[in-house]
């Protein structure tokens, strides 16, 4: 395992691949790693094979946090993260041997990541970033893309893995790679859930025992949406079924329930984006125009506050009926 704290350390570690031609995949994280992150790493290992290199970046990116969000409180657990990564990639028969050629952990400070202070040139995430998560966190996705694109340039991977849990982030990263011709293949990885259905998230650590129980309303709402689709509901019916569960759940303050196209984030339910039960657009939001009939699965996306913790979850669902 190579722990790179500077850009020079990272460049030196990557130069080995440049000489050998070893394939490389990157999993970008903000640390506080859990099984959901380890799934990205395992998939990265599968893609690169026994001679390849897996790069895991660990960086709590200030640019994607707005004032008043949890930048300072965000858990930072580098030592445990590195131990976890080594153990997840350890070969079954070797003390120190890994199932890949090399593991590189890039854990820069903000000064290493942004050596000239706030970057002057910015990536514009486009219209998808104005709705749902973007309505509540208007600067978030610009900050995400800034760090993702910079990390792609620094790590030069063939594959970059992103979890489906952050479905809007995945769609926006894919759009950036397409629109800016970034030479990398984006690989989505399924949501990892606890045995009781709660989607894994580093922010689950903020939940009290009671809130953790209440948070199960999100996965129950997804199940209700899926069930409605199975019974023939269209996108609007799927959304209503999920919203009903969330609205009835004690301790849960709904931010949104939406049914959208998973790539374009076009609203498919006719309810308007960002507001539960309403059709009014949040200030600054763009109503994305798109087909009235979904081709392929739709994305049921939920966000709710449980206590002071804002949680998101989603599921890809195949609707049974036509969309109004
Ligand atoms: O998904 C995350 O953890 C972050 O948004 C990412 C992609 C590592 C960028 O900081």
- Which of 61, 66, 149, 177 to mutate to test ligand 1, by most ligand atoms within 8 A of the CB atom? 61
Nearest atom of ligand 1 to the alpha carbon of 59: 10
64 or 275: which leads in pLDDT: 64
Q: How far is CA 137 from CA 144, 182, 288, in A?
A: 11, 25, 18
Is the separation of the CB atoms in 314 and 297 below 8 Å? no
For residue 320, which of 242, 223, 220, 235 has the smallest C-alpha distance?
Answer: 235
The CA distance from 15 to 30, in Å, is: 25
What's the full length of the chain, in residues? 324
The mean pLDDT value for 22-38 works out to: 97
The CA distance from 133 to 126, in Å, is: 13
Q: Residue 290 has what pLDDT?
A: 45
CA 171 / ligand 1 centre spacing (Å): 13
Q: Residue 295 has what pLDDT?
A: 64
Mean pLDDT of the chain: 92
Q: Is 202 in the pocket of ligand 1 (CB under 6 A)?
A: no
- Positive or negative, the Cα torsion across 231, 235, 237, 240? positive
Q: Which of 95-104, 169-178, 287-296, 312-321 has the lowest mean pLDDT?
A: 287-296
* Catalytic residue, candidates 34, 37, 140, 153: 37
Q: Count the Cβ atoms, other than its own, within 10 Å of residue 122.
A: 12
Beta strand 298-306 with 2-4: parallel, antiparallel or unpaired?
unpaired
User: What are φ and ψ of residue 250, in 5° steps?
Assistant: -65, 140
Position 49 pLDDT exceeds 80: yes
Is the separation of the CB atoms in 62 and 110 below 8 Å? yes
The CA distance from 292 to 150, in Å, is: 36
The mean pLDDT value for 58-84 works out to: 96
- Which of 70, 144, 145, 191 to mutate to test ligand 1, by most ligand atoms within 8 A of the CB atom? 144
pLDDT tens digit sequence for 80-139: 999 999 999 999 987 789 999 999 999 999 999 999 999 999 999 999 999 999 999 999
Q: Please tell me the pTM assigned to this model.
A: 0.92
Residue 306 token pair: 């449980």
- Return the residue matching tokens 């594959």: 159
Q: Residue 323 has what pLDDT?
A: 38
Q: Is 153 a catalytic residue?
A: no
User: What are φ and ψ of residue 241, in 5° steps?
Assistant: -60, -40
The CA distance from 40 to 189, in Å, is: 6
Mark out the alpha helices in the chain (DSSP H runs). Answer: 7-20, 35-48, 78-89, 110-113, 133-136, 140-155, 167-179, 209-214, 216-230, 235-248
Q: Residue 294 has what pLDDT?
A: 59
For residue 145, which of 169, 113, 109, 121 has the smallest C-alpha distance?
Answer: 169
Q: Residue 293 has what pLDDT?
A: 54
Q: Is 176 in the pocket of ligand 1 (CB under 6 A)?
A: no
CA 323 / ligand 1 centre spacing (Å): 33
Beta strand 298-306 with 309-317: parallel, antiparallel or unpaired?
antiparallel
Position 69 pLDDT exceeds 70: yes
- Return the residue matching tokens 């699965």: 297
The CA distance from 263 to 260, in Å, is: 8
277 or 309: which leads in pLDDT: 309
The CA distance from 266 to 131, in Å, is: 9
Query: What is the longest distance spanned by two Cα atoms in the chain?
Result: 59
Q: Which of 67-76, 141-150, 180-189 has the lowest mean pLDDT?
A: 67-76
The mean pLDDT value for 312-318 works out to: 97
Is the separation of the CB atoms in 47 and 159 below 8 Å? yes
The mean pLDDT value for 52-65 works out to: 98
The mean pLDDT value for 6-23 works out to: 98
- Which of 108, 166, 186 to mutate to test ligand 1, by most ligand atoms within 8 A of the CB atom? 166
Q: Is 160 in the pocket of ligand 1 (CB under 6 A)?
A: no
Q: Residue 281 has what pLDDT?
A: 42
CA 144 / ligand 1 centre spacing (Å): 6
CA 227 / ligand 1 centre spacing (Å): 31
Position 68 confidence tier, pLDDT thresholds 50, 70, 90: very high
Q: Residue 296 has what pLDDT?
A: 82
Which residues on neighbouring strands pair with residue 131, listed in sequence order? none
Percent of the chain topping pLDDT 70: 91
Q: Is 258 in the pocket of ligand 1 (CB under 6 A)?
A: no
Position 272 confidence tier, pLDDT thresholds 50, 70, 90: confident
Q: Residue 280 has what pLDDT?
A: 36
């Amino acid at each position: 395992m190579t722990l790179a704290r500077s850009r020079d350390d990272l460049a030196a570690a990557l130069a080995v691949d440049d000489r050998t031609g070893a394939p490389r995949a990157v999993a970008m994280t903000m640390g506080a790693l859990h099984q959901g992150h380890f799934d990205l790493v395992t998939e990265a290992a599968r893609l690169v094979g026994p001679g390849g290199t897996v790069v895991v970046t660990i960086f709590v990116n200030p640019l994607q946090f707005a004032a008043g969000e949890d930048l300072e409180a965000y858990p930072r657990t580098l030592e445990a993260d590195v131990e976890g990564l080594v153990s997840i990639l350890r070969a079954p028969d070797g003390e120190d041997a890994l199932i890949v050629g090399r593991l590189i952990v890039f854990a820069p400070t903000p000064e290493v990541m942004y050596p000239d202070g706030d970057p002057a040139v910015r990536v514009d995430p486009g219209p998808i970033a104005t709705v749902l998560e973007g309505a509540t966190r208007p600067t978030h996705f610009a900050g995400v893309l800034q760090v993702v694109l910079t990390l792609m340039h620094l790590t030069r991977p063939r594959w970059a893995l992103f979890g489906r849990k952050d479905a809007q982030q995945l769609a926006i990263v894919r759009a950036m790679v397409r629109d800016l011709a970034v030479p990398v293949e984006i690989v989505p990885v399924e949501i990892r859930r606890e045995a009781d259905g709660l989607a894994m998230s580093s922010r689950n650590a903020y939940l009290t025992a009671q809130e953790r129980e209440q948070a199960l309303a999100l996965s129950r709402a997804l199940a209700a949406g899926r069930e409605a689709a199975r019974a023939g509901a269209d996108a609007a019916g799927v959304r209503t079924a999920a919203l009903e569960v969330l609205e009835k759940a004690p301790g849960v303050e709904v931010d949104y329930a939406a049914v959208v196209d998973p790539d374009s984030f076009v609203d498919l339910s006719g309810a308007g984006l960002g507001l539960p039960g309403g059709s009014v657009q949040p200030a600054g939001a763009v109503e994305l125009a798109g087909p009235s009939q979904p081709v392929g699965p739709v994305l049921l996306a939920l966000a709710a506050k449980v206590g002071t913790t804002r949680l998101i979850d989603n599921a890809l669902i195949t609707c049974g009926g036509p969309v109004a």
